[in-house]
Amino acid sequence: MYKRMLLPVDGSPPSERAAALGLALAKRLSAAVVFVHVIEPHRYRELRDNQEALERARTVGKALLEQWARKADQAQVACLTQLTSTQPEGRPGVAEALMDAGVAHGCDLVVMGTHGRTGLPRVLLGSVAERMARLAPTPLLLVRGDGLESTLFRRILVAFDGSAYSELALQHADALAGALEARLSVVYVVPDLTQLYRSAGRAWMFTDQAQLQTRLAQEQAHLRKQGELILHEAAGRCTHAPAVHTVLREAGRHLIGERIRQVAEEEQADLIVLGTHGHTGLRKFLLGSVAEDVAQQARQPILLVRNPAALTHPDASHLPPPGER
């Protein structure tokens, strides 16, 4: 499973909540943690002297890291800390600084907090999570600042559609469920062909509405059967989770993401696992997609698992599925 977690901290409530959850998860998995604070002097704009602002930022950052190092020591979790900056060597931003730290320390999971006001475009430290999802070679666990009470995961839900992206998410969800002895639910949402036909402009192909409805009903039934088969095969590939439950749900006139959220509530899931394409970053993947609604509305933490083949960072190494190290 995960061996070393990157926990960015900036002192904000969402960051504190995510770091606490990450520390508890690391203890349960016998993993090490790396607390990283990125110095941002612009936060101290009231100080007119740039050097004074920089020193203040360093002082606050060091104190924050020392605080979390003590917590890790009390929890008996191996810990490293790093104080870094966005300014040296022309580094463009916080996400890049965090990513460099994660790669340097060999981290295989990032745990970050989100404000949860309007979804991922409004994440902790600006748009850091969006860039981390595009650049980092690791899964990203997002913890909402206003979500469910942070506890170790007992019920995990993974969205599965048979694609390579969801297959990798299934592997991570299964391994995590096994390590935490958690119940794993696998959900497949059958898309509504009526909506697909209309959005694709294909309804004109049928001048007879009765013929159209008959054809749609036949194809919809085929999709349901296909979904049942996909779920059956997915459950068979879960070899670590102590209990696996499959859920087939029709989208109907609802968004697929909405259905996933509904199932998460019904299953009382405290973690949702989703695969991402990762070609152009989380923002591209989320906006107008299934995960947008899940990320913006779900109360649960969300584990985003990228496709390793889509990594774009030159220093990123391809990570094997958890448990195959």
Tens digits of per-residue pLDDT, 259-276?
A: 999 999 999 999 999 987
pLDDT at 234: 96
pLDDT at 92: 65
Please report which confidence band the pLDDT of residue 105 belongs to, taking 50, 70 and 90 as the band edges.
very high
Contact 68, 81 (CB under 8 A): yes
Please report which confidence band the pLDDT of residue 3 belongs to, taking 50, 70 and 90 as the band edges.
very high
CB within 8 Å of 215: residues ≥ 6 apart:
206
Query: How do residues 157-215 score in pLDDT, each as one tens digit?
Result: 999 988 888 899 999 999 999 999 999 999 999 988 776 555 545 545 555 677 777 87
CB within 8 Å of 320: residues ≥ 6 apart:
none
Count CB neighbours of 6 within 10 A.
Answer: 28
pLDDT at 277: 66
What are 200's two structure tokens? 């694709």
Torsion angle defined by CA atoms of residues 309, 312, 318 and 320, in that order, rounded to the nearest 10 degrees? -50
Please report which confidence band the pLDDT of residue 320 belongs to, taking 50, 70 and 90 as the band edges.
very low
> What is the enclosing helix (H) or strand (E) of 123?
none
The rounded radius of gyration (Å) of the Cα atoms in the chain is 21
> What is the enclosing helix (H) or strand (E) of 228?
helix 209-236
Least-confidence region, from 1-10, 126-135, 230-239, 292-301: 126-135
Burial 27-65 (b: 16+ CB within 10 A, else e): eebebbbbbbbbbbbeebeeeeeeeebbebbeebbeebb
Contact 161, 298 (CB under 8 A): no
Q: Global pTM?
A: 0.84
pLDDT at 193: 78
Contact 65, 101 (CB under 8 A): no
What are 300's two structure tokens? 């649960």
Looking at per-residue confidence, does 108 or 52 come out higher? 108
Looking at per-residue confidence, does 84 or 308 come out higher? 84
Please report which confidence band the pLDDT of residue 41 belongs to, taking 50, 70 and 90 as the band edges.
low
| Average pLDDT of every residue of the chain | 80
Please report which confidence band the pLDDT of residue 288 belongs to, taking 50, 70 and 90 as the band edges.
very low
- Where in the chain is CATH 3.40.50.620? 1-150, 153-325
pLDDT at 127: 66
d(CA 144, CA 298): 9
CATH code of the domain occupying 1-150: 3.40.50.620
What is the architecture of the domain spanning 153-325? 3-Layer(aba) Sandwich (3.40)
